[in-house]
Amino acid sequence: MMVTTIGDVLIDVIVRLHEELVPSDDAAATSRFEPGGQAANVAAWAAALGAEARFVGRRVDDPAGLLAKRKLDALGVDVRGPVGEGRTGIVVSLVNQEGGRTMASDRGVSPELSVDDLDDDWFACDWLHVPAYSLAREPLATATAHAVAAARARGARVSLDLSSWTILGGIERHAIARLEPDVVFATEGEWMSYREVVPEAVVKAGAKGFSVVRGDISHSYEAAPVEVVDTTGAGDALAAGYLVGGPQLAVEAAARCVAKVGAMPEAP
């Protein structure tokens, strides 16, 4: 199986708080610098779970970009797309003592990927996974629509992660409907707002697990019991597991992700 993703490769600065933030004062924390980006994360987890995986995106050979590229290479991800000028984006993820996180995102050069940067053969795959981030800004949004058409022409199915309420607010509904995704990954609130556009959804409920919804039929899956260290990337691991092996692998992948720091799996 080949899973291809299109979108962002970034660096996550993960700040694990040991106490509550105090306005205008200090709080003890531990910080890590790890590769991330929703599209890159899904490709990384797909590879770690036994699939062939390809990431397509615009990159920079700055120190942050080289770190991310080395991690994807070590996991066996086929990295495609132009390497140009600019800077790799950075996401600051504040993780509280319960493992929940709040993010501040700078996407760097990722949204600058254009149709002219693409080779249609990159999208010969079983699944093309599209984060909503890839629909939020041009020229990446147009490049993503082109990638979806190229993947469909080669027999691929398309999955879409609705990603974030703040991102969805800047995307026209018809842009999502036009993709005609085969499956959507979403929170309950996101799903209720977009359920008319897809036949199948994986509705995420955090520590409670998730439900697979097909029409009027819904089946729930409990999250695996695990000590939560960091929830960054858990939804991406879940999505990769579902695409590669279905609901049970999704449960296992999400559990592996939250039990460690960072959005990507450990490299072998």
DSSP the chain: -EEEEES--EEEEEEEESS---TTS---EEEEEEEE-HHHHHHHHHHHTTSEEEEE--EE-SHHHHHHHHHHHHHT-EEES-EESS-EEEEEEEE-TTS-EEEEEEEETGGG--GGG--GGGG-SSEEEEEGGGGSSTTHHHHHHHHHHHHHHTT-EEEEE---HHHHTTS-HHHHHHH--SEEEEEHHHHHHHGGG-SEEEEE-GGG-EEEEETTEEEEEPPPP---S--TTHHHHHHHHHHHH-HHHHHHHHHHHHTSSSSSPPP-
> How much is the pLDDT for 99?
64
The answer, as to whether pTM is greater than 0.75, is yes
Residue 7 scores a pLDDT above 90: yes
| Whole-number average pLDDT of the chain | 91
CATH superfamily label, 2-258:
Ribokinase (3.40.1190.20)
> How much is the pLDDT for 165?
63
Domain parsing of the chain, residue ranges: 2-258
Residue 249 scores a pLDDT above 80: yes
Q: How confident is the model at residue 169 (pLDDT cuts 50, 70, 90)?
A: low
> How much is the pLDDT for 20?
85
Q: What percent of the chain shows pLDDT beyond 90?
A: 67
For 133-168, how does the pLDDT look when each residue is reduced to its tens digit (9 = 90+)?
A: 999 999 999 999 999 999 999 999 999 999 776 666
> How much is the pLDDT for 56?
98
